Amino acid sequence: MTADLPGLSIIKPGFMTLLQDSGRRGVMHQGLACGGPMDRHAWAWANRLVGNPWHTAALEVSFGGFECMAETHLQIAITGADSSLHINGSPQPRWTALNINPGDRLVLGHPASGVRVYLAVEGGFALTSGLGGSNSTLVREGTGGLRGDGSALQAGDHLPCNTVKSHGIQRQMPEQWLPDYTAPLVLDVIMGAQLDRFPSSTLHRFFSSCYTLTPRSDRMGARLSGPVLEHHGVTLISEGISLGAIQVPADGQPIILLQDRQTVGGYPKLGAVTPRSLDALAQRMPGSEIRFRPIALHEAQEQEKRFLAFFQGQ
């Protein structure tokens, strides 16, 4: 990290603000989580709007209440949750590139809808690459982030930014593409290899019922409350766990495993929520209602291919 470079000075970090790039790869065999942004869609758009490549780290601000000051001329983009954005007390648009000057103060309010806001800076932050080539913050493991110890940003932190000689064009997301974080949430599910452990009555109950996102949810997993899901057999021998896996523990209440999940587990898995659906889930407050629908594997793969082609092929 080049600490002497100017960048952003953190005044108020809010409830939890983390550095997140696209996550670590090739580390799960070591028992390490991948990390990365909870809402890849909003994170990727923040970087795209300022012309950054895919892996560039951005700030993930949960529940707003964030304030920082620019130490140099920067181009930034704010995406994600519907938090008010003010620069020097003047309201500013989100989902667009903004040029800011030394001494400018940026304030994010608490979101009216959604949970997580993403702040990207043109050129990215000047950070030394961490474990697995990633700076993603994993609080549980004590890795990544500004100090490399998994800690969230704190008041007084200095985030150095890579030097950009001339700022690029001021891109803006087309209005018709803006996500609606208040819309009814239906998550796509790829059926799993342990499907035979769940009776047909359980599967019918799961796909025809409404579940509620509980306050016990975090970056490791989304814990749900709703109709109990019965399954056959005893606990499995622990095995690798994929992103979005729907574990069903003994109490029958499903848990959707997320970016900071453990790498192995022994609960039966009904299936997995698709990555694109996880983006929408990441922006729902506790108490939100959730429904599910099955999706074919090839359809989920096509969704992911289109998503990656759009953001990685810029």
Tens-place pLDDT, residues 270-300: 999 999 999 999 999 999 999 999 999 999 9
Q: What are 41-81's pLDDT values in tens digits? A: 999 999 999 999 999 999 999 999 999 999 999 999 999 99
Last residue of a domain, one of 130, 150, 177: 177
Last residue of a domain, one of 177, 193, 213: 177
Domain of residue 128, residue span: 7-177
Number of independent structural domains in the chain: 2
- 168 shares a domain with 49: yes
- 139 shares a domain with 31: yes
- 146 shares a domain with 73: yes
- 59 shares a domain with 102: yes
- 198 shares a domain with 170: no
Q: What are 127-153's pLDDT values in tens digits? A: 988 887 899 999 988 999 999 999 999
Q: Is residue 34 one of the residues assigned to a domain? A: yes
Last residue of a domain, one of 154, 177, 200: 177
d(CA 78, CA 121) in angstroms, rounded, equals 9
Q: Is residue 147 one of the residues assigned to a domain? A: yes
Residue 33 has pLDDT above 90, yes or no: no
pLDDT of residue 213: 98
Q: Is residue 2 one of the residues assigned to a domain? A: no
Q: Is residue 167 one of the residues assigned to a domain? A: yes
pLDDT of residue 263: 86
d(CA 135, CA 23) in angstroms, rounded, equals 8
* Stronger pLDDT, 314 or 137, i.e. the higher one: 137
